[in-house]
Amino acid sequence: MVVGDVSTHTELLVIGAGPGGYVAAIRAAQLGMEVTLVEREAVGGTCLNHGCIPSKALITASDRAHQARNSETMGINGEITVSFDTLMGWKDSVVDQLTGGVELLCEQAGITLMEGLAVFAGENSVRIVHEGSGEGAETVEFEHAIVATGSAAVELPSLPYDEDRILDSRQALALETIPDRLLIVGAGYIGMELATAFQKLGADVTVIEMLDKPLPRYDGDITQVVHNRATDLGVEFKFGYRGTDYTADDETITIQIESERGDTESITAENALVAVGREPVTESVEPDAAGLDLDDDGFIPTDGFGQTAVDSIYAIGDVAGEPLLAHQAMYEGQVVAEVIAGEPSAIDARAVPAVVFTDPEIATVGMTESDAEAAAFTPLVGEASLRSLGRALTLDDTDGFVRLIADSKTEIVLGAQLVAPEASELVGELGLAVELSATLTDVAETIHTHPTLSEAIVEAAEDALGRAIHSA
C-alpha cells in the first residue's frame, strides 16, 4: 500500500455501472448487502450513454422525419427540416434523464458510488485509480466482486479510429452535423441501424461489408426484407468488399476498398463509421492480478451462476461472453446478486430475445428452425405475412412476417423470428411463450387485440397448426 492510500472494505464490489453492473448493485442492496459500485466514466455504461439509448433516440427522430416526408398517400404534405442540434440536444436530455435516474436509484438503495478505474490487486482487493490528475488511488477490499466492464468497439488496423473522420458508433452518435456522405464499414446490427437512420436524416450512406449480405446472423429471408427497405431508402451496399487503405484530411476521408476478386474502388465521404463488432473490456481491470484467465475470445469464463474460476469474483454482461446484449447483462446482474446473497438463482433463461432496430425491425427469441433440428427436435414452422394484416395496412407498412418454431411432438413453442414494424415490442410475448413452454394452441387460442400487429403471431401459430384463417 502506498503511503496516503485509503483502504476501505466492502461486502460486494461491482466494477462497471452499465446495465449489468447497476442492476446487480441494486438487487444486491435490496437483498441486504453492503455494495460499492465503481464506474470509470459514466453511470449507465455504453448502453445508456453511447449505445442503445442515444441510437434509439436518433432512430426515432429519423423515422419521424422520414414518415412525415413520405406520407403523401395519406394526404400529408409539407416541407420537413431537421435541426440536428436540437435533435442531439433532445437525445442528450433523454440520456441525462436516464443516467440521472440510475444514479438516484443507486443512492436510494444505499450503494456507495465511486468514480475511478478499478484494477485488481488480488482475489479480494482492487485499487481504484482516480483518473483526474493528482487524485491518487485507494484500495478497496471486497468479499465478492462482480466484473461488469462491458465491451468496446473493435478497431480495424486498416482503419484506426481517429476521433475525427474515422468514428466508432459512440462518436457517430455524437456527430455535430449530419454528414452529406457517410461510409459505414460493417453491415452488422449497429451498421445497419445507423445506416438506416442517417439515410433517413438525409445522408448518402454507403455500407461496406466483407460478407455477401447484411446481418449475417439472421436468416436470409429476414435480412432480405431489411436489405430491400434500406436499398429503397437509397443506402448503397458494397458486399464482398473490405477497406484496404485510406486517406483523410480535415473534411473528408477516402477509402480504398477491394473485393475478393481483386476489384478495387475508392469511396469518399465526410465520415467513416467502423462497426465491425465489439470486444470485451478486460485489460483495464488487470484480471491476472486476481488470478483470472481469459478465454480465447478474451471473455472471462463463468459458470451457470456467473462465478469465475476465482470464488470471490463473478462476471456478467458483455465481459462474460455472448450474447452481448444489455438485457442479458441485466438478467445476469440480478441472478448473480441473488446467487451471492444465497438465493436459489441461476443463469438458465431459455429465451434471450435479440432485436435490430432497422426498418422494419428484426426480433428473434429462442430457437430457429435449424437450432431446433440441431437440438433433436422435429421443428414445426408457422408463418404469417403482414401483407394481409389490417393493422399493417393502416400503418402503411406491410413488409415483413412472423415465424414461429415449435416442437412437432408437443407443439411447444421453441422460438420465433420476426421482421416487422414494432417487432421489438411484439417479441416480448413470444419470449414469455418460450419461457413458459406455451404450445401453439396456447398462443393461437389466446385472444389478441384486433386490429394490431400481434394478430400476426396468432396467425403464425394457426399456420403451424394447419388452420390459418387469413392465409392461403
- Strand 117-122 vs strand 125-129: parallel, antiparallel, or unpaired? antiparallel
Q: Which is nearer to another protein, 261 or 409 (CB)?
A: 409
Q: How far apart are CA 110 and CA 263, in angstroms?
A: 60
- Total residues at the site for another protein (CB under 8 A)? 25
Query: Among the candidate windows 225-233, 235-243, 391-399, 438-446, which touches another protein by CB under 8 A?
Result: 438-446
403 CB contacts (<8 Å, ≥6 apart)? 381, 382, 383, 416, 417, 418, 460
Q: Which of 158, 254, 446, 452 binds another protein (CB under 8 A)?
A: 446
Least distance from C-beta 366 to another protein, angstroms? 10
Q: Which residues pair with 207 in a beta bridge?
A: 184, 237
Q: Which of 121, 435, 452, 471 binds another protein (CB under 8 A)?
A: 435
Residue 113 CB neighbour total at 10 angstroms: 16
Q: Which is nearer to another protein, 300 or 440 (CB)?
A: 440
CA distances from 362 to 265, 287, 356, 432 (A): 31, 36, 5, 18
State yes or no: residue 345 binds another protein (CB under 8 A).
yes
Q: How far apart are CA 270 and CA 222, in angstroms?
A: 31
Q: Which is nearer to another protein, 335 or 419 (CB)?
A: 335
Looking up cell 450513454 gives 49
Q: How far apart are CA 234 and CA 228, in angstroms?
A: 10
- Strand 35-39 vs strand 6-15: parallel, antiparallel, or unpaired? parallel
Omega before residue 451 within 30° of 0, cis: yes
- Which of these, 112, 130, 90, 140, lies nearest to 17 by C-alpha position? 112
Least distance from C-beta 347 to another protein, angstroms? 11
Site string for another protein, 393-432 (x = CB under 8 A): --------------x-xxxx--------------------
State yes or no: residue 462 binds another protein (CB under 8 A).
no
Least distance from C-beta 348 to another protein, angstroms? 6
Q: Which is nearer to another protein, 132 or 344 (CB)?
A: 344
Return the C-alpha cell found at 314.
463473478
The per-residue b/e assignment along 25-56, b for 16 or more CB within 10 angstroms, e otherwise, is bbbbbeeebebbbbbbbbbbbbbbbbbbbbbb
Looking up cell 395519406 gives 74
What are the backbone angles phi and psi of residue 80, rounded to the nearest 5°?
-110, 125
Query: Among the candidate windows 186-194, 218-226, 290-298, 433-441, which touches another protein by CB under 8 A?
Result: 433-441
Query: Among the candidate windows 62-70, 182-190, 241-249, 435-443, which touches another protein by CB under 8 A?
Result: 435-443
Least distance from C-beta 24 to another protein, angstroms? 18
Query: Among the candidate windows 53-61, 221-229, 439-447, 448-456, which touches another protein by CB under 8 A?
Result: 439-447
State yes or no: residue 30 binds another protein (CB under 8 A).
no
Site string for another protein, 351-370 (x = CB under 8 A): ----------------x---
Looking up cell 400476426 gives 456
User: Which amino acid does the sequence have at 428?
Assistant: G
Least distance from C-beta 451 to another protein, angstroms? 22
Chain Cα centroid distance, residue 25: 21
Return the C-alpha cell found at 120.
485488481
Q: Which of 176, 296, 297, 348 binds another protein (CB under 8 A)?
A: 348
Q: Which is nearer to another protein, 63 or 442 (CB)?
A: 442
State yes or no: residue 445 binds another protein (CB under 8 A).
yes
Q: How far apart are CA 382 and CA 459, in angstroms?
A: 8
104 CB contacts (<8 Å, ≥6 apart)? none
State yes or no: residue 373 binds another protein (CB under 8 A).
no
State the Cα torsion 338-340-343-344 to the nearest 10°. 90
Least distance from C-beta 334 to another protein, angstroms? 12
Q: Which is nearer to another protein, 330 or 386 (CB)?
A: 330
Least distance from C-beta 350 to another protein, angstroms? 8
State yes or no: residue 39 binds another protein (CB under 8 A).
no
State yes or no: residue 349 binds another protein (CB under 8 A).
yes
For the annotated catalytic residues, the residue numbers are: 450
For residues 256-285, which are near another protein according to CB under 8 A? none
Q: How far apart are CA 429 and CA 97, in angstroms?
A: 28
Between CA 237 and CA 247, with CA 241 as vertex, the angle to 5 degrees is 95
Least distance from C-beta 331 to another protein, angstroms? 11
| Through-space distance between the first and last CA atoms of the chain, rounded to whole angstroms | 75
Least distance from C-beta 436 to another protein, angstroms? 5
Q: Which of 41, 67, 442, 451 binds another protein (CB under 8 A)?
A: 442
The contact set with another protein (CB under 8 A) reads: 344-346, 348-349, 367, 375-377, 407, 409-412, 435-442, 444-446
